[in-house]
A = this chain, B = another copy of it.
Amino acid sequence: MEYKFVIIDHAFEIYVGAIALLFTALGIWLALKLSKPKLQTVVIEKEVYVQKPDPGFVPDEIQLTKMGISKREWEVLTLMSQGLSNQEIANQLFVSLNTVKTHGSNLFLKLDVKRRTQAIEKAKRMGMIG
């Protein structure tokens, strides 16, 4: 019963309210649709551990010569010690994977080791690589 009176009495206000709501919604939709998305940049600092380059490292030529390790083999050894795979070393040196493997095998023979990890360990101890 009372609703009727309310509606009748305030028909105009209700109408205006409806319009207001409708167009507020339209405005929101417009803004969302047309405005460039706001970008908030979140800066995340990722710690990267870098070896402070040893200023005066020189490979022990004596040892290299004594073990009969060639320049190319030394390069392969160095890249191995940096954690590169044979394929990555091949790409780096612009040679084939097989070539790197060959250098590797010769290296292991000369260093008298069985694996690259051993080669790295030994070469470091002997001052061949930094």
Contacts and interface: CB of A to CB of B under 8 A. Distances in A.
B83 A118 contact: yes
Contacts of A26: 24, 27
A93 interface: no
A47 B52 CA distance: 10
A84 to B, nearest CB: 8
Contacts of A80: 117
Interface stretch (A1-9, A36-44, A68-76, A97-105): A36-44
A58 interface: no
Contacts of A119: 83
Nearest to A123: B49
Contact of A43 (B16, B46, B81): B46
Contacts of A116: 117
A96 interface: no
Interface of A: 16, 19-32, 35-52, 80-85, 113-122, 125-126
Given A28-B28, A42-B42, A116-B117, 20 more contacts: A21-B23, A23-B27, A27-B29, A27-B30, A28-B31, A30-B31, A32-B35, A35-B38, A36-B38, A37-B39, A39-B40, A40-B41, A44-B45, A44-B46, A46-B47, A46-B48, A47-B50, A50-B50, A84-B117, A85-B114
